Amino acid sequence: MLPAGSHQPPSATPTPPEGFDWRRALWHGAFLLGFAALMAWAWQGARIDPVLFLQHSENSMKLAREFFPPDFTDWRIYVDEMAVTLHMALWGTFLAVIAAIPLGILGASNITPWWIYQPIRRMMDMLRAVNEMVFALFFMVSVGLGPFAGTLALAVHTAGVLGKLFSEVVESIDHRPVEGIRSTGANRLEEVVYGVIPQVLPMWVSYTLYRFESNVRSAAVVGMIGAGGIGFFLNETMKTYNYPAVAAIMAMIIATVMVIDVISARIRKAAL
């Protein structure tokens, strides 16, 4: 019961349910059917065979047991070569960033005209499409075996990756600061330096750190084909079936990547 003289508030008018969106449902259904057809087509091409995997699981377990215990007898050599791998990743990432900054700006459709950003985008596509291993083989012919070839391979491929990521960040900026700087009579370069760079810099730093982590792993891989670093010893121990040494090298790579991930996460948090 309500007190005398009080009035019951009018009840809220129920919102009628919206009509079923058949067009949206059809699009979703078509997407799911297309995705299922794509995965079925890829299943045949990849020759996915779970039965075969289960049949040979015993061999896999037997091979895995041969990796233990890891053999750290030559750990001093592994540490030195791991340092070389880090050097390759550092310089490869640094050179890539130098190239990716202008590529990211020139490849942004909201800053440059189509006749500039379209060729830049296609060039970045080519750099990303070729794996570091292929670039490493090319540079080995040019500069010889060793870490320099691996560093150049990482730099070229990573420039395409970071250039693409940098350009997407530039395309998502708030244009109001840029327009405010333009209203003061600033030229195009000043608009980029004072209106664009401050907005994109935190994300650029985050992407750069992520690619550095990836390049540490990639540097170990290109080292397996003659680019130096820990990858060379990983390849040699695998060729001689010295699986305990392989386990030690892999453990060292994993530990290095973990440490880098912790440090870069703190840097990203501070930058963002």
CATH, residue 254: 1.10.3720.10
Q: Are residues 93 and 197 in the same domain?
A: yes
Q: Backbone dihedral region of 146: left (phi > 0), alpha (psi from -120 to 50 degrees) or beta?
A: left
Distance of alpha carbon 162 from alpha carbon 164, whole angstroms: 5
Q: Are residues 96 and 125 in the same domain?
A: yes
Res 1: pLDDT: 46
Distance of alpha carbon 91 from alpha carbon 80, whole angstroms: 17
Q: Is residue 8 part of a domain?
A: no
Task: Determine the structural domain holding residue 30 and report its residue range.
Answer: 23-56
Q: Are residues 87 and 128 in the same domain?
A: yes
Residues in the chain where the model's pLDDT stays below 70: 1-19, 271-272
Q: What is the DSSP letter of 70?
A: -
**Joined tokens for residue 231:** 């990858």
Res 16: pLDDT: 47
Q: Is residue 65 part of a domain?
A: no
Q: Are residues 148 and 232 in the same domain?
A: yes
Q: Is residue 9 part of a domain?
A: no
Q: Are residues 38 and 130 in the same domain?
A: no
For the beta carbon of residue 165, count every other beta carbon within 10 angstroms.
Answer: 20
Distances (CA, A) of 257 to 48, 54, 214, 244, 268: 30, 31, 9, 20, 16
Q: Are residues 37 and 84 in the same domain?
A: no
Q: Is residue 204 part of a domain?
A: yes
- Give the pLDDT confidence of 163-215 residue by residue, as tens digits: 999 999 998 888 888 888 888 887 888 888 888 888 899 899 999 999 999 99
Pick from 113, 101, 268: nearest CA to 170: 101
DSSP assignment string, 158-227:
HHHHHHHHHHHHHHTS-HHHHHHHHHTT--HHHHIIIIIHHHHHHHHHHHHHHHHHHHHHHHHHHGGGTT
Q: Is residue 18 part of a domain?
A: no
Q: Is residue 113 part of a domain?
A: yes
Q: Is residue 165 part of a domain?
A: yes
Q: Are residues 27 and 105 in the same domain?
A: no
| The one-letter amino acid at 208 | T
Res 36: pLDDT: 92
Distance of alpha carbon 94 from alpha carbon 49, whole angstroms: 42
Q: Are residues 29 and 95 in the same domain?
A: no
Q: Are residues 130 and 32 in the same domain?
A: no
Long-range CB contact pairs, 57-64, < 8 A, 24+: 63/243
Q: Is residue 140 part of a domain?
A: yes
Q: Are residues 132 and 209 in the same domain?
A: yes
Long-range CB contact pairs, 256-263, < 8 A, 24+: 256/82, 256/86, 256/216, 257/213, 257/216, 257/217, 260/212, 260/213, 260/216, 261/213
Give the number of domains in the chain. 2
- Tell whether pTM > 0.85: no
Pick from 196, 201, 216: nearest CA to 82: 216
